[in-house]
Homo-oligomer: A and B are copies of this chain.
């Protein structure tokens, strides 16, 4: 098969969760695009890192040194909601219910995948908390990591990390999700739904 085609397929295969067939389908579909469209796509890819920065405070996506949320004085700086990914942050923002700040870890602790605490933005999280404490504030850390082995490990790790600080640490409530059918709810969910009943 055409070497350039093969090469581009191999690049698409490196994207998370993309198999050989899907990668080939991607490139075939691109062959039906205008050259101008492909040039734009290529340009956007090449310049991604120049145009997208990470916030120095919370590691959210930013246009410059600080993201829109961290540079928004109206957002309570003493409330820090900790998420794994930028996309998790967006899900919370879409609810429009949260008025505090965020901290994006950049993943969850998973030694098998080579994601160790050092890989995540835990240092800056601790720095933010200690700085707030030094300013006489009592930060609230809301742990919103996934309800997975990795997410739970990360949550426990952060509780340990901030043990010495005055921060109050909370975790997003767990229970039945909206529209959930008891019949299909897993034991873990039911357990929490019972324990945390109101």
Contact = CB atoms under 8 A, between A and B. Distances in A.
Interface of A: 1-5, 7-8, 11, 15-17, 21-22, 24-31, 35, 38-52, 54, 61-63, 85-87, 90
A4 B52 contact: yes
A33 to B, nearest CB: 8
* Residue from A17, A39, A44 with most neighbouring chain B CB atoms (10 Å): A44
Contacts of A42: 41-47
Contact of A44 (B4, B35, B43): B4
A193 to B, nearest CB: 26
Given A8-B44, A28-B87, 11 more contacts: A1-B90, A2-B62, A2-B63, A5-B61, A11-B41, A16-B25, A31-B49, A39-B46, A41-B46, A42-B42, A42-B47
A31 B106 CA distance: 11
Contact of A48 (B30, B47, B48): B30
A60 to B, nearest CB: 9
A6 to B, nearest CB: 9
A45 B30 contact: yes
A55 to B, nearest CB: 10
Contact of A1 (B1, B39, B61): B61
A44 B2 contact: no
A65 to B, nearest CB: 13
A57 to B, nearest CB: 15
